[in-house]
Amino acid sequence: MANARDILIRPLVTEKSTALMQEGKYTFVVAKGANKIEIGAAVEEIFKVKVASVNTVRVLGKTKRMGRTQGKRPDYKKAIVKLAPGESIEFFEGV
């Protein structure tokens, strides 16, 4: 298994992910090669919480244009981590 800090790249803070925090679900951008078991172990190691389940989504980057120049946003993988009842991550509480 890779280092836990290499698996969790950054938290993903959007309106939808902020609403999910009320249900005990937290969203992270993770390494593309990471699986659910590695992601759950990384969250438990870094934040010292108990993970109940992990769902993953591969997000394809959009193609963007500016005039006749065309580019593409990068693809990424996100994970929605549900914590055990009574658990929370204080890192997100100020958001």
Residue 2 has a pLDDT of 78
Residue 1 has a pLDDT of 60
Q: Is the pLDDT of residue 16 over 80?
A: yes
Return the domain boundaries, the chain: 4-85
- Give the type of residue at 88: S
- Give the type of residue at 38: E
Q: Which CATH architecture does the domain made up of 4-85 adopt?
A: 2-Layer Sandwich (3.30)
| Helix H or strand E encompassing 82 | strand 76-83
Q: Are 89 and 39 in contact (CB under 8 A)?
A: no
**Residue reference for tokens 């994970």:** 79
Q: Of 37, 40, 31, nearest to 74 (Cα)?
A: 31
If DSSP codes are grouped into helix, strand and coil, which group holds residue 94? coil
Task: List pLDDT tens digits, range 23-80.
Answer: 999 999 999 999 999 999 999 999 999 999 999 999 999 999 999 999 999 999 999 9
